A and B are shown apart, each in its own frame.
Chain A
Amino acid sequence: MKICVLVKEVPDAAVRKRIDPASGRMDRSGERTLNPYDTHAIEAAMAIREGGVVEVDEIVAVTMGPEGAVRALHKAVSLGVDRSLHLCDDALAGSDVAATGYALAAALRREAPDLVLLGQQSDDGECYTVGAIVADHLAMPSLTQVIKLDVESPAGGGPPLLRCERQAEYGYDTVEVGLPAVVSVGDAINEPRYPSLKAIMGAKKKPLQTLSVGDLEIDAARVGGDGSAARWSGFKEPPRKPAGTIIEDEDTDATVAQIVAWLDERKLI
């Protein structure tokens, strides 16, 4: 079985994310890191490999992004991925989520994976939708926000099945999915491991292939800022609500007295 994991490089959580007002795009300066939600997808792939129900031949990390995104791939490799694929082309810059999913699907099609795993959301884009978009292009069944993923070998033979659990609008659902499939995992699915120093050092030696739009079956008119169907036509400030009172807790007795007084004033106690 071959698993592809989608990964993305995002601004570090400590960096204040902002939009560059001139370009209308995400400001890409500042520390960047592997999208933390993707580490759960990598860990889920490792769990399938180590679970022993099916033989996992290969785990491949796939990203689309500017040159710097190789750092996210190195991090993915240090967490157990075997090799990686970097879709990198100026023609892709400014792609909306639909165009991103379209291009990623083209890269994935070439790999013909049995399972595509991804994170529940990207920490910067927060679209929650790349998985469902990619799945439709690949004509694969798909589920998002999965927090329990078991691979089962059907008793009568045949391709393995996935048993997925997730929380939907009315409670927890359990869904059986036939491979090949696309699954986005929620952050409650596992505790990602920390990479060993040796794995970090060795990460750059693992195979990494860079692809451009011309290497894949991508219609250049459907990607990039100009090819995207959703256009960011402007930005505005949200209505400001008056800032709340902030208390830094230094002396807890005093803090508690302040909280009680605040509640009292509003007749909440």
Chain B
Amino acid sequence: MADILVYALHYEGAFNKNSLGAVSEGAKLAAALGGEAHAVVVGDGATDELCATLGRYGARRVYRVAGPEGLAQPVVDAMAALVGEHHFSYALFGGGLLGFEIGAGLAARLGAGVAMEVTAVRVVDGRLVAERPILGDSAISEISYRSDVGIVIGRLNAFEIAAPGDLDAPVEEVVVAFSEFSTRARMLSRGEQRGEDVDIEGADILVAGGRGLGKAESFELCSELAKAFGPGSAVAATRAVVDAGWYPYAGQIGQTGKTVSPKLYFAAGISGAIQHKVGMQGSENIVAVNKDANAPIFEFADLGIVGDLNKILPKLTAALRARREG
């Protein structure tokens, strides 16, 4: 028998999808191991009602810990305490920034093995084996654990959310004594939305711009192309250009941005890093323009154009416009 402890991240009264996927996956794996999946929620804003809903995705019990939100180390303290008390065999995370930080901290604290960016987990001889794609997804490594506790950090969207049942989970309040160092970080402001609100989730066609645009002004090339595609199209971006202030955060695709699956995703000057790919690989058609023939994006583009976006985008825009008008 082996029980699994799953971390569930919430914000403003809702769990994130990634966490619901992790709880669902945890419940499935625990059942195969003959154990139970329990979930842990840390923060002052999570009500009993909200916590209980994790039962619908398979959590048999939810531990609610009062503490600061949005920081990893208090959650490490909480999970280490719960593992100590209830002897969980595995800790499971859906991914995202906090999942990586908490999973890593917990591995150090417990002397546990950790696998990250996991896309699938199997049960082999009563133990978990995690599959992790490596080297730009060109190979998949299989990882098993020698430690008492194994830590699995999923890749964004890797774990499917189960169809919710109607069973709420019992919620247990747990008081955790936080370590001195984990209270030495203080959230001053959280969730700031930089830039205007843009809707990329409703668009059928997305023209996404990356660092290859070279400067903020070049986003004009993307917006002109989007306009030429007609209504139902919008402009999206990578983290690199959002961090640089070239495009609003609301338009970012990827691990710490949105997940999209438009009919057409058109990338201009985007390398195709894993953290970007996880947010758009469900697109029906993927077209990429990149001047580097070795760019990873060509490994998963349906149509790849090796060339300079400054030459190609204006002419393509003109051609599409001519078609619409003609």
* A176→B96 CA distance, assembly (Å): 21
Asked if B143 and A136 make an inter-chain contact with CB atoms under 8 angstroms apart, the answer reads: no
Q: Does A147 contact B (CB under 8 A)?
A: yes
**How far apart are A87's CB and chain B's nearest CB, in angstroms?**
17
Could you name 23 residue pairs across A and B whose Cβ atoms are closer than 8 Å? A19-B134, A19-B135, A98-B108, A127-B104, A129-B100, A129-B101, A129-B104, A132-B100, A134-B108, A136-B76, A142-B101, A174-B189, A175-B71, A175-B186, A177-B184, A188-B244, A232-B143, A234-B141, A235-B140, A241-B300, A246-B305, A249-B305, A260-B323
**How far apart are A10's CB and chain B's nearest CB, in angstroms?**
12
Asked if A129 and B139 make an inter-chain contact with CB atoms under 8 angstroms apart, the answer reads: no
| Size band of the interface chain A makes with B | 35 or more
Chain A 241-268 near chain B by CB (<8 Å), digits 1 or 0: 1001111110011011101101100101
Q: Which of B76, B179, B184 has its CB near the most chain A CB atoms (within 10 A)?
A: B184
- List residues of chain A with CB under 8 Å of any chain B CB: 17-19, 96-98, 101-102, 105, 124, 126-137, 139-145, 147, 163, 166-178, 181, 186-188, 222, 228-238, 241, 244-249, 252-253, 255-257, 259-260, 262-263, 266, 268-269
* A259→B301 CA distance, assembly (Å): 13
* A84→B205 CA distance, assembly (Å): 51
Residues of B with C-beta under 8 A to A141 = 73, 181-182, 184-185
Q: Does B97 contact A (CB under 8 A)?
A: yes
Chain B 133-160 near chain A by CB (<8 Å), digits 1 or 0: 1111111111111110010000000000
Residues of A with C-beta under 8 A to B190 = 168, 170-171, 173-174
Residues of A with C-beta under 8 A to B264 = 263, 266, 268
Q: Would you call the interface of chain B mostly helix, strand, loop, or mixed?
A: mixed
**How far apart are A187's CB and chain B's nearest CB, in angstroms?**
7
* A186→B308 CA distance, assembly (Å): 27
Closest chain B residue, CB of each to CB of A236: B140
CB within 8 Å: A-B pair count = 269
Asked if B134 and A98 make an inter-chain contact with CB atoms under 8 angstroms apart, the answer reads: no
Asked if A101 and B185 make an inter-chain contact with CB atoms under 8 angstroms apart, the answer reads: no
Q: Which of B272-303 contact A (CB under 8 A)?
A: 274, 285-287, 293, 298, 300-303
Q: Does B163 contact A (CB under 8 A)?
A: no
**How far apart are A268's CB and chain B's nearest CB, in angstroms?**
5
Whether A260 touches B256, Cβ cut-off 8 Å, given contacts A129-B114, A255-B312, is no
Q: How many residues of B contact A (CB 8 A)?
A: 95
Residues of A with C-beta under 8 A to B11 = 169-170
Asked if A139 and B145 make an inter-chain contact with CB atoms under 8 angstroms apart, the answer reads: no
Closest chain A residue, CB of each to CB of B204: A268
* A126→B273 CA distance, assembly (Å): 11
Q: Does B103 contact A (CB under 8 A)?
A: yes
Q: Would you call the interface of chain A mostly helix, strand, loop, or mixed?
A: mixed
* A228→B98 CA distance, assembly (Å): 24
Q: Does B319 contact A (CB under 8 A)?
A: yes
Closest chain A residue, CB of each to CB of B318: A256
Q: Does B70 contact A (CB under 8 A)?
A: yes
* A230→B138 CA distance, assembly (Å): 21
Return the contact of A230 from the options B136, B145, B205, B305 (Cβ within 8 A): B145
Closest chain A residue, CB of each to CB of B300: A241
Q: Which of B300-326 contact A (CB under 8 A)?
A: 300-308, 311-312, 315-316, 319-320, 323
Query: Which 5 residue pairs are nearest across A and B when measured between Cβ atoms?
Result: A249-B307, A229-B113, A230-B113, A188-B243, A132-B104
